[in-house]
Amino acid sequence: MTPRTKEQNEIIRIRRIAQIVKAAADVYLDKGVLMEIRDVAASAELGYGTVYHYYKNKTDLLHDVLWQAMERAAVEMAELVNSDIAASANQRSYTGWGSRLLKLWARDHGLYLLCQLGGDHFRSLPEQFAGALTVAYHENVLRPVSAMIEYRQEREVKEAGVSPPRQAELLLAALTGCALLPLRRGTLHTEAEQIAHFLFEGRDIS
C-alpha cells in the first residue's frame, strides 16, 4: 500500500475535525455542559481515541466549535442584515429576518450555540476563553443586528428608551429561547415562520 502524502493527511485531518466539531455542536445542544468526549465520538461515529487525538478535553473542543461558528457568523449575519437593509420598505420585516435566521440555525447548530452562549457572555466557559469570544461576538453578531435596527429606526418609529444595541441583544435572546426546543426536536426549519410571526407580529410596519 502506498503511504499517504502530507496533502492527503491534511485533507483527512481537516475532514475529521469538521466531523468532530459538527458532532460536538449537536451533542452540546442536547447535553450542555454535561457533554463528554465519548458522547461526541458516538455522535460522530468515530472511536474515542480518534476524537481524543484531536481534542484532549471538552473545553478545547467547545472553544473550536464556537470560534469556527464565529467565522461563519461574520459572513452569514452580514448577509442576513444586508439583504434586509437592501429590501424595499414593503418587503422589509423583522418577521422575515427572524424566520431566515431561525432556518439558518436549523442548518447550523454551531451558529445557534454561538448566539445562545453569546447572549450570556459565554459565562459557561473559562474566563480566558470567554473574554475574546465576547468581543468577537459583539463585532460579528450584535453590531450587524444593531445596525439593521438603527437603519430601520431612521425610517420608522423608534423604540422609546431602548438603544439599538440593547434591542439587538433582546431580539437574539428571544429567538434563541424560542428556538431551543424545536432544534432539539428537529422541527425548527418547519416552525421558523410561525415562531418569527409570534415574536414579531405587531412590530413590523405595514
Whole-number pLDDT of residue 206: 39
Element (H, E) at 174: helix 164-185
Give CA–CA dist 31/57, Å, rounded. Answer: 16
Side chain identity, residue 173: A
DSSP letter string over 87-144?
A: S-TTT--HHHHHHHHHHHHHH-HHHHHHHHHHTTTTTTS-HHHHHHHHHHHIIIIIHH
Give CA–CA dist 86/102, Å, rounded. Answer: 20
145 contacts 171 by C-beta, under 8 angstroms:
yes
Whole-number pLDDT of residue 205: 46
Whole-number pLDDT of residue 49: 95
Whole-number pLDDT of residue 156: 56
Whole-number pLDDT of residue 1: 61
Q: Which three cell numbers stand for residue 154?
A: 431612521
pLDDT in tens, the chain (206 residues): 677 788 888 898 999 999 999 999 999 999 998 999 999 999 999 999 999 999 999 999 999 999 999 999 999 999 988 887 777 555 568 888 999 999 999 999 999 999 999 999 999 898 989 999 999 999 999 999 999 888 877 655 555 578 899 999 999 999 999 999 999 999 999 999 999 999 987 665 43
Q: Which three cell numbers stand for residue 150?
A: 438603527
